[in-house]
Amino acid sequence: MSSPRPGAPAPTGNPAAAPVAILFGLGLLVLAAICVRDLLIATGAIGGSGWLATAFRWVARLRWHDWMLPAAIVAVLVGLALLFAAVKPRPHTHLSLTSPAGVWLRPTDLARLCSGRARTVAGVLSATTAVSRKRAVVSVTVGAPAVPDLEDQVRAAVSAGLTALVHTPELRIAITEQEAS
């Protein structure tokens, strides 16, 4: 008999370093374009003076100035922020179900499930749900004569759909009566 297959890894969102990586890539493309321009100037294909050689000569002639200390401090802080963004864990985007196959559910899908189950209760005209990792808030609209124990009926119907989750969110029910026109 074989052992059960381990569950799929948790789906995660984009890393915090993704925008930085995009900007870094764009910067490298700009640097490549400057290198191509200087190469064309060096081969005589186009006229002008090279930007890279001029920039390197300017850096080589630099001496210590008062503005360099704050610039160095800012550079260290930016480097630490980039290091933090690189090692920051990715956010979890899905909720796991109790399944040996490793099944995951988006919060949007869980909200639709809760709203659909709430609409099955007699007397409920409409239902919407907002889901976070810790809580599910089901907002129910009912007709003018309130049904007795409606909140308990909605809670029971929605709770039955939440039993498949590994970590069941706190369930809150908000009931509003539809205004008579």
Q: Does the pLDDT at position 116 exceed 90?
A: yes
3-state secondary structure 40-51: HHHHCCCCCCCH
Q: Are 93 and 13 in contact (CB under 8 A)?
A: yes
pLDDT for the residue 180: 63
Instruction: Encode pLDDT of 3-17 as tens digits.
Output: 344 556 788 999 999
Report how far residue 62's alpha carbon sits from residue 138's, in angstroms, rounded to the nearest whole number: 65
∠ CA 59-29-60 to the nearest 5 degrees?
5
Enumerate the β-bridge partners of residue 105. Answer: 95
When pLDDT is averaged across residues 98-110 and rounded to a whole number, the result is 86
Report how far residue 97's alpha carbon sits from residue 10's, in angstroms, rounded to the nearest whole number: 11
Q: Does the pLDDT at position 34 exceed 80?
A: yes
- 104 pLDDT band, cuts 50/70/90, is confident
pLDDT for the residue 2: 40
DSSP 3-state assignment of 155? helix
When pLDDT is averaged across residues 149-161 and rounded to a whole number, the result is 91
Q: Are 161 and 117 in contact (CB under 8 A)?
A: yes
Distances (CA, A) of 48 to 30, 45, 59: 18, 10, 20
The per-residue pLDDT of the chain, averaged, comes to: 89
Domain spans in the chain, listed from the N-terminal domain onward: 18-87, 96-177
The CATH architecture one would assign to domain 96-177 is 2-Layer Sandwich (3.30)
pLDDT for the residue 5: 45
